Structure 1
Amino acid sequence: MVDHGPRVGNRVALTFDADMTDGMLHSLRSGRVRSYANLRILDLLEREQVPATFFLTGKWVQRYPEVTRRIAGNPRFELANHTYGHLAFTGDCYGLPRLPARGMTEDVAKTFRVIEPYGGRQTRYFRFPGLCHDKAALDALAPLGLTVVDGDVVSGDPFAEAWQPLVRAVLDKARPGSIVIMHVTEANASMTDEALPHILAGLRERGLVPATLSEVLTGG
């Protein structure tokens, strides 16, 4: 389990979670929500040629296959695992419904299988919903040969109502080896695309360079 990479050099990892729950799917189907795929984030990262790592839920991939193909087709982007349906692996995890212990291993294995056909830069990185985990959850995933990734810089973008606090949250804590947690789920994190240009500019001013998670974790 890792929170950050080696505190050497000048690289930081920008990671974006793509959550998708049954409730979110219902909001899409009912028309209450327009999108949980923030394409403006992808536009900016592509335009600026910024590396990033995307932690994808299986249900998000199945809802947005074209966006997933776009991510996988970018050689600067990595694909990682964020469970199948964003269920909690512990009790009391931000109100998320809990995944039964007997289903934990298969949930994550299934997500790797869903992501795999898209190709691109596949990884064995995994992030728990809400970063909620305990020994039982870690033990359940041990057979899968994955690396559990938390992060040391939490942007706080879910349900944020202004972009400025996100910029401060990231730039106040980012340092060499940092793993920054943001979200690409537009309706639930609508300020992220507005904050991102300022985050990138602030990192540059501090001499910090975005890199893939693999590069940051290996110190490469």
Structure 2
Amino acid sequence: MTAPKKRRLWFTISCAALLILLLNYQPIQHYISVVKNKQVVTADSALDEKSRLQSLIEQWKEGKEEQPVDAVVDPTWKAIPGYNGRIVDMEASINKMLAAGAASPEMLVYKEVPPAVSLKDLGAQPIYRGNPKKPAISFMINVAWGNEYLDSMLDTLDKHKVKTTFFLDGSWVKRYPEEAKKIAARGHEIGNHAYSHPDMKTLSTQRIHQEINRTQEIIIKTLGIKPTLFAPPSGSFNQRVVQIAHDPFQMNTIMWTADTVDWQKPPPVYVIRKISGLMGNGVLVLMHPTSTSEKSLDQLLTIAKQKGLVPTTVSEVISSNRIP
């Protein structure tokens, strides 16, 4: 064997011997043992922490979970939507608390439980209100005239960061497509208010179809939106009207809980006093683009919020979704 090869062989043997000595050296063995034990302790601690949090959450969720409320047909209010219940999501709550490194009842995570009976299960029924447990209200606006007040009302809604529902007369959309586009562009929900503001309950079946269908067509053509809500002009309807809106047009017929009667031009202070006294969970307030409503809307929205209500669209009020 050559000298260089011998030197390489002795170097390799020396390194191996040194490594064996180091691995058997007590401090090194102790360090390895500590690292291994720490890993075991950490895993055990995580399990213990999850168990501790689960026990806390079981205590904290007492009285905080709610059963869902079924939709019903009421003798007075007709179709009343259901309202989702809520239960604590144990896994999501634990993960949230572990990630935050803190735990409190305010950090509980919930998931919604839908009712066994929903609004769609009730069939063709008029709707006058949302569920009495839902802290939401809608200031819905029927439009067949009153263009001069629209911009101001839209600005007030923007000021309060509120989206509501505008029920549009089909002939109005045809005459004023840019005004209709302005409403939709602000993010408001669009509903069907028939075509020529007729007394719907006096119409033939064919004419009811025509009034609803022409409005659907002009709204779809002008705005690219297909309404799912129908508000009969002047609140005039019968079961035939409700049935036709429901099938074939797949729309809910919407009435109201509280009426501003703003078309009679009452003083704004009268409307504010009247409607503020009627505000509550699930209330639908009927308005038009009138001078009275223009001057009342800002204060009505403020009062609604002070009462803990969320002003929103009709679709949201009548849905079973919970308000955060």
Q: TM-score range by the shorter chain?
A: 0.7 to 0.9
Residue matched to 2:253: 148
Amino acid at match of 2:152: R
Partner of 1:27: none
Q: Distance in 1 between matches of 2:148 and 2:207?
A: 26
Q: Quick one: distance in 1 between partners of 2:269 and 2:199?
A: 29
Alpha carbons of structure 1 residues 100 and 117: separation in structure 2 relative to 1, 3 Å: same
Indicate yes or no: 2:189 matched with 1:84: no
Q: 2:152 is matched with which residue? A: 40
2:315 partner amino acid: S
1:4 alignment partner, one of 129, 154, 161: 129
- The answer on 1:182 being equivalent to 2:287 is yes
- Following TM superposition, by how much is the alpha carbon of 1:147 offset from its aligned partner in structure 2, in angstroms? 0.4
| TM-score w.r.t. length of structure 2 | 0.56
Superposition pairs of residues 1-220 of structure 1, within 5 angstroms:
1-20=126-145, 35=147, 38-75=150-187, 77-91=188-202, 99-119=203-223, 122-141=226-245, 142-184=247-289, 189-220=290-321
Quote how far apart the aligned CAs of 1:82 are.
0.3
Deviations 1:41-91 (A, max 9, x none): 01111232111100000111122211211111123x100000001011135
CA distance in 1, matches of 2:156, 2:174: 24
Unaligned runs of 5+ residues in structure 2 are 1-125
| 2:264 alignment partner, SS class | coil
For normalisation by structure 1, the TM-score amounts to: 0.81
Task: Judge conservation of contact 1:72–1:118 (CA < 8 Å) in 2.
Answer: no
Pairwise CA distance, 1:153: 1.1
Distance of 1:173 and 1:120 partners within structure 2: 35
Determine which structure has the larger helix proportion and give its number: 2
Aligned residues: 195
- Cα deviations across residues 124-182 of structure 1 (Å, max 9, x unaligned)? 10011111111233344332211000011111111314111111222111111111110
Q: Distance in 1 between matches of 2:177 and 2:278?
A: 34
Stretch deviating more after TM superposition (82-91 or 100-109): 100-109
Asked if structure 1 preserves the Cα contact closer than 8 Å seen for 2:149 and 2:294, the reply is: no
Question: Aligned AA for 1:104?
Answer: I
Alpha-carbon contact 1:58-1:83 (below 8 Å) kept? yes
Q: Identity, % of aligned pairs?
A: 24
Q: Is the 8 A contact 1:159 1:190 kept in 2?
A: no
Q: Which amino acid aligns with 1:135?
A: Q
Structure 1 residue 118, shift from structure 2 partner: 3.9
For 2:267 and 2:134, the matched residues in 1 are separated by: 32
AA aligned to 1:41 is: M
Q: Which runs of 5+ in 1 are unaligned?
A: 21-33, 92-98
Question: Which one-letter code corresponds to 2:316 in the other structure?
Answer: E
